[in-house]
């Protein structure tokens, strides 16, 4: 079972890249973030034509998340519980039910950026993370394989940035942000990549500016968090860097969890 997270930074602009990736890698599940389109603009027909079922939660010009699956998609939840006034499309969850394998519950997450510091955007980020923690806590008693995949907009540790000092005044690297991320992990989750590669300097995002990709000035902000049942099935994690070299790429690359 291959489960992917990828912030595509506009699905309509990156549709050809997505279809090429699906055709080449044939993942079982793909969690997409930053669709930047409303539901009626989502390219359902093209993705279904590539052999995938789809569930999506869009928003005009901003945000947007989706789950693509080669297997049936059930029990779809759109939106993160805990704030009925929140209109931002940042969370979608579903149960993936392969015919011959145990079902997985999967979420596609686009966590708020939080910049600039000292504004309501940072407060919203922290409040959103508290809501996520509460929701995950409600899911864990199901004791099922759970994969929380997404762009978390969190640099967990210094080793997750090529140049940590560049990020000390950024919401992605604030002590409060990192503490909120650890609080979610401390519910009993496993961070998939670090379970496989504890100390490697690995990144999933390279800014478009200042030759960041060419200089490998990256950060790791796309994560797969696993329930104990999913962690037991984890075999490997791959960061699929080659998409960053494609023409007009997303600034994020796919991260792939491989499960038994």
**Euclidean distance between CA atoms 252 and 82, whole angstroms:** 28
CA-based nearest residue to 175, from 183, 194, 133, 207: 183
Please give the Cα distance from 235 to 61 (Å, whole number). Answer: 37
What is the token pair recorded at 219? 């950060």
Residue 174 burial (10 A CB sphere; 0-12, 13-18, 19+): buried
Q: Per the residue annotation, which of 28, 52, 91, 151 is the catalytic one?
A: 151
Cα 222 to Cα 77: distance, rounded to the nearest angstrom: 21
Residue 1 and residue 258: Cα distance in Å, rounded? 6
Q: If you search the block for the tokens 């901003």, which residue do you land on?
A: 62
The one catalytic residue in 52, 91, 110, 203 is 110
Which SS3 state, helix, strand or coil, does residue 151 take?
strand
Structure tokens that stand for 67 in this block:
């789950």
Cα separation, 180 vs 162, in Å, equals 22
- Would residue 208 show up in a list of annotated catalytic residues for this protein? no
Q: Tell me the C-alpha to C-alpha distance, in Å, between residue 137 and each of 162, 175, 242.
A: 32, 22, 35
- Identify whether 110 is a catalytic site residue: yes
φ, ψ dihedrals at 194, nearest 5°:
-70, -20
Task: Please identify every residue annotated as catalytic.
Answer: 110, 151
């Amino acid at each position: 079972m291959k489960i992917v997270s990828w912030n595509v930074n506009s699905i309509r602009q990156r549709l050809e890249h997505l279809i090429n990736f699906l055709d080449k890698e044939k993942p079982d599940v793909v969690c997409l973030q930053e669709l930047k389109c409303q539901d009626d603009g989502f390219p359902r027909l093209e993705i279904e034509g590539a052999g995938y079922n789809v569930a999506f939660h869009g928003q005009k010009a901003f945000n947007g998340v989706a789950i693509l699956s080669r297997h049936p998609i059930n029990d779809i939840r759109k939106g993160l519980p805990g704030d009925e006034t929140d209109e931002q499309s940042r969370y979608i969850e579903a149960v993936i039910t392969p015919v011959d394998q145990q079902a997985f519950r999967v979420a596609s997450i686009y966590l708020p950026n939080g910049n600039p510091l000292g504004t309501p955007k940072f407060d919203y980020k922290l409040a959103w993370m508290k809501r996520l923690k509460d929701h995950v806590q409600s899911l864990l008693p199901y004791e099922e394989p759970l994969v929380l995949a997404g762009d978390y907009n969190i640099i967990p540790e210094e080793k997750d940035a090529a140049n940590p000092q560049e990020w000390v005044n950024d919401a992605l690297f604030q002590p409060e942000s990192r503490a909120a991320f650890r609080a979610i992990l401390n519910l009993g989750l496993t961070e998939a990549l670090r379970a496989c590669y504890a100390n490697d300097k690995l990144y999933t995002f390279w800014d478009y500016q200042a030759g960041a990709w060419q200089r490998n000035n990256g950060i790791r902000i796309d994560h797969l968090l696993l329930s104990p049942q999913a962690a037991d099935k984890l075999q490997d994690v791959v960061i699929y860097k080659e998409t960053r070299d494609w023409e007009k790429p997303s600034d994020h690359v796919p991260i792939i969890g491989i499960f038994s």
